[in-house]
Amino acid sequence: MNVAVIGGTGVYDPAWMLDAHTESVATPYGEALVTRGRLASAPDLSIIFLNRHGTGHALPPHRVNYRANIWALKALGVDRVVATAAVGSLNQAMAPGHFVLVDQFLDFTKSRPSTFFEGGEAGVVHTDMTEPYCGASRHRLSLSAAKWGIPLVNGGVYVTTEGPRFESAAEIRAFKLLGGDVVGMTGVPEVVLAREAGMCYTAIALVTNYAAGLAGQPLTHQEVLDVMKQQSERLRQLLAEGLPRLAETYACDCPTPEMPLIP
């Protein structure tokens, strides 16, 4: 199985890769930059890395070219995707420093293209989203986290907002009432597009702070970056142990897409 990592905020440099080289992949939605190399902890394993926010974190969440990114990974033969995301917590059980393998999402984005299937020649496709994240892959990553003693919660609802602003305290109260556990700005449409493309998708949400109205202080992007830097070694350990597990052959319940994107 071919595995790719999508790096979110604070995860820009694939230092855990050997012989890394960057290339551009042409897609119907524009070019996507990917880095190809080998996993340092398992040199026989080839890995693809994609920096979601681009060089120098130039792309805010609402301007990321999600369709180009997912199409490029599909075109390169990727079967399984592990994405990282910095999130705020709405749940006291998911404290700053915790990793959360989310299993559901709530979508509050507004202006992002969220499907490959716009009708016409591509057809109209209604993709099942009952279980958007790969349960089998989450289980394997949770075993890897346990080996390293990484505080991890397997399961949680990711609320995706449009950004780039942080949420209001009233919005956070509403999201909690709806069952949200963590909040971020990049989870959707990425997971939706990956499901449309027929790839198993797993999201590692790294809790960097409590959300607005729960933190007791104003939110800053620097705080997010600082916590991500503090957790970088734990993330490296999780990927080093977990990616070889995801490259193995195993059964999962992720459905086959109704219409393949790339024949």
Could you read off the pLDDT of 17-34 as tens digits, one per residue?
Answer: 899 999 999 999 999 999
The domain in which residue 43 lies consists of: 2-117+127-247
Beta bridge partners of 107: 160
CATH number, domain of 219, equals: 3.40.50.1580
Task: Give a yes or no: residue 261 inside a domain.
Answer: no
Residues annotated in a binding site for phosphate: 9, 52-53, 186
Binding residues for substrate: 185, 209-211
Distance CA 161, CA 152 (A): 23
Annotated binding site: 9, 52-53, 185-186, 209-211
CA distance 168 to 26: 38
How much is the pTM?
0.94
pLDDT digits (tens, 9 = 90+) for 203-240: 999 999 999 999 777 778 888 778 777 878 888 899 99
Within a domain: 257: no
Average pLDDT of the chain to the nearest whole number: 93
Within a domain: 136: yes
Number of domains observed in the structure of the chain: 1
Report the pLDDT value the prediction gives residue 175, as an integer from 0 to 100: 99
Strands 99-101 and 152-154: parallel
Confidence grade of residue 171 (pLDDT, cut at 50, 70, 90): very high
* pLDDT at residue 5, as a whole number: 97
Place of tokens 């592990």: 82
Residue 174 is assigned to a structural domain of this protein: yes
